[in-house]
């Protein structure tokens, strides 16, 4: 791709002509606003962004881009940490205008378009007293969340996002629309359940829904000096926690500058039983804040959006632990604190219950034993390059020191572009099957969101 193409609309005339949606190149006034992802750190400049409105727009763009030999990427909800949604000097299929959600209350299913966010799905399903496993923030795109596995506050009761995926429509690398479900292309459905965005453009997804409106949820905050004792008790507690109770935890900084340990329980069963289940958490130490209360699932997820606003700069590292032990608690406290900025945090995802009872080979997502996935989330307002490196180094340091205690596994939705060597380990015994699937549906490696560049 030459600079001439990037700045020349004429080159893209035959791509733009049949589109229902809109094509943007860097010279267009709206380009920069549309190009932005959730992570403001990503500066990748596609030669063209196609804002698709229909499946036919997607099919045409895939075929045109392949004919012209340009790199191709796919943007779903745009809540992208590593920048995989954009292709430098390539073509980006932008699904952010395709966000429709249709609920079938009798079948308890939801059909969502490829650009729909967690918030879109939650709000539509709430009208019928239903919900499904989503991310903890409303702006997360359901497609990317699901394709990577999908941790969230309902993991114990309902499993991962991927576990609730019933079917999907995919535009493959040759520009064909296929349906992947239990009857048609079941191998592809298997790969979409946690195998990453490597097989095509997912233009719609069907999810299983569950009866749910109100949860018992909120923050329990403990002073830092109690962190060691609380985390030891927390580790014992989660080993026997009921499925209905999933408890993210970690460290964050309060508006007054105080760093605290947080437990963020979500109980999705009967409220009275939830009060009994959560009560022991309040005895782990002297609470600074107790905000646990009945709240709609919609309000819970939207209430956490302020923790990770769009446009801030982010860098993430992950390690997964078989519970907490004295050594790993010391690493989190001694290496992780102080946090790199008032916006940075350390979060531990609680994987257990229904998610752990799925067989390793049932979906592409392979780590199916109880664990805690630790995310070191460096977040900062943009300043100098030197300042940026300090935040990145903070996250990398914690990850490196945790690594000897961790599974040789990486959560693909949060892997950095320089961590390609962790990708095969993420899929464990499912990796070879994913490679075979890749050769079937994308032998020329058109889509390389997660395990690409392996069939060259």
What are the structural domain ranges in the chain? 3-94, 101-212+431-441, 214-414
452 pLDDT tier (thresholds 50, 70, 90):
very low
7 pLDDT tier (thresholds 50, 70, 90):
low
The pLDDT assigned to 43 comes to 93
Radius of gyration of the chain (CA): 22
Give buried/exposed letters for 352-387 (b at 16+ CB in 10 A, else e): bbbbbebeeeebbbbbbebbbbbbbbbbbeeeeeee
Integer angstrom CA distances of residue 62 from 45, 139, 205, 316: 19, 26, 19, 30
Which whole number is the average pLDDT over 220-244? Answer: 98
Q: Which CATH number fits domain 3-94: 3.30.43.10, 3.40.50.620, 3.30.310.50, 3.60.20.10?
A: 3.30.43.10
Question: Percentage of residues in the chain with pLDDT exceeding 70?
Answer: 96
pLDDT over threshold 80, residue 8: no
Query: Please, which residues have CB within 8 angstroms of residue 100's CB and are 6 or more apart in sequence?
Result: 112, 113, 116
Q: What is the pLDDT of residues 121-162, one digit of tens each?
A: 999 999 999 999 999 999 999 999 999 999 999 999 999 999
449 pLDDT tier (thresholds 50, 70, 90):
low
The pLDDT assigned to 327 comes to 98
454 pLDDT tier (thresholds 50, 70, 90):
very low
The pLDDT assigned to 1 comes to 38
Which whole number is the average pLDDT over 151-180? Answer: 98
pLDDT over threshold 90, residue 170: yes
pLDDT over threshold 80, residue 246: yes
pLDDT over threshold 80, residue 448: no
CA atoms within 13 A on the CB side of 271: 11
Query: Please, which residues have CB within 8 angstroms of residue 106's CB and are 6 or more apart in sequence?
Result: none
Q: ∠ CA 55-56-57 to the nearest 5 degrees?
A: 90
Task: Assess contact for 16 and 52: CB atoms under 8 A.
Answer: no
Let me know if domain 101-212+431-441 sits in CATH 3.30.465.10: yes
pLDDT over threshold 50, residue 36: yes
pLDDT over threshold 60, residue 192: yes
Q: What is the pLDDT of residues 59-83, one digit of tens each?
A: 999 999 999 999 999 999 999 888 8
Q: What's the fold here for domain 214-414? A: Vanillyl-alcohol Oxidase; Chain A, domain 3 (3.40.462)
Q: What is the pLDDT of residues 347-396, one digit of tens each?
A: 999 999 999 999 999 999 999 999 999 999 999 998 777 789 999 999 99
Residues recorded for the chain? 456
Nearest to 252 by CA among 220, 286, 217, 230: 220
Integer angstrom CA distances of residue 3 from 25, 36, 98, 321: 11, 21, 30, 46
Q: How far apart are CA 278 and CA 274, in angstroms?
A: 6
């Amino acid at each position: 791709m030459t600079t001439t193409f990037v700045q020349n609309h004429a080159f893209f005339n035959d791509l733009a002509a049949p589109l229902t949606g809109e094509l943007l190149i860097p010279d267009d006034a709206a380009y920069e606003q549309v190009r932005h992802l959730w992570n403001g750190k990503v500066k990748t400049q596609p030669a063209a962004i196609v804002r698709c409105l229909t499946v036919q727009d997607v099919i045409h763009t895939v075929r045109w881009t392949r004919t012209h030999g340009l790199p191709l990427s796919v943007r779903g909800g745009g809540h992208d940490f590593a920048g995989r949604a954009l292709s430098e000097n390539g073509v980006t299929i932008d699904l952010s205008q395709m966000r429709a959600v249709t609920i079938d209350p009798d079948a308890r299913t939801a059909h969502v378009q490829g650009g729909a966010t967690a918030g879109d799905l939650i709000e539509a399903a709430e009208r019928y007293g239903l919900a499904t496993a989503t991310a903890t923030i409303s702006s997360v795109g359901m497609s990317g969340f699901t394709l990577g596995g999908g941790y969230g506050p309902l993991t114990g009761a309902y499993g991962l996002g991927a576990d609730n995926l019933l079917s999907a429509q995919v535009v493959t690398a040759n520009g064909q629309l296929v349906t992947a479900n239990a009857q048609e292309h079941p191998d592809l459905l298997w790969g979409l359940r946690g195998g990453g965005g490597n097989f095509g453009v997912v233009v719609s997804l069907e999810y299983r829904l569950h009866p749910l409106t109100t949860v018992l949820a909120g923050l329990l905050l403990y002073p830092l000096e109690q962190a060691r004792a609380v985390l030891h008790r927390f580790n014992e507690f989660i080993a026997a926690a009921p499925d209905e109770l999933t408890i993210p935890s970690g460290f964050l900084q309060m508006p007054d500058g105080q760093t605290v340990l947080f437990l963020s329980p979500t109980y999705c069963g009967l409220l009275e039983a939830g009060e009994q289940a959560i009560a022991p958490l309040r005895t782990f130490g002297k609470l600074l804040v107790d905000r646990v209360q009945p709240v709609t699932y919609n309000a819970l997820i939207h209430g956490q959006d302020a923790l990770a606003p769009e446009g801030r700069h982010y860098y993430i590292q992950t390690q997964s632990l078989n519970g907490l032990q004295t050594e790993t608690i010391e690493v989190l406290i001694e290496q992780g604190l102080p946090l790199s900025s008032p916006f940075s945090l350390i979060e531990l995802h609680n994987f257990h219950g229904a998610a752990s009872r799925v067989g390793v080979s049932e979906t592409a997502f392979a780590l199916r034993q109880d664990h805690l996935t630790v995310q070191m989330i460096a977040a900062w307002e943009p300043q100098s390059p030197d300042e940026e490196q300090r935040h990145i180094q903070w996250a990398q340091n914690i990850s490196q020191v945790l690594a000897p205690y961790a599974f040789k596994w990486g959560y693909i939705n949060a892997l950095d572009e320089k961590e390609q060597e962790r990708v095969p380990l993420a899929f464990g015994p499912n990796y070879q099957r994913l490679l075979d699937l890749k050769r079937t549906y994308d032998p020329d490696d058109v889509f390389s969101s997660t395990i690409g560049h392996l069939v060259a």
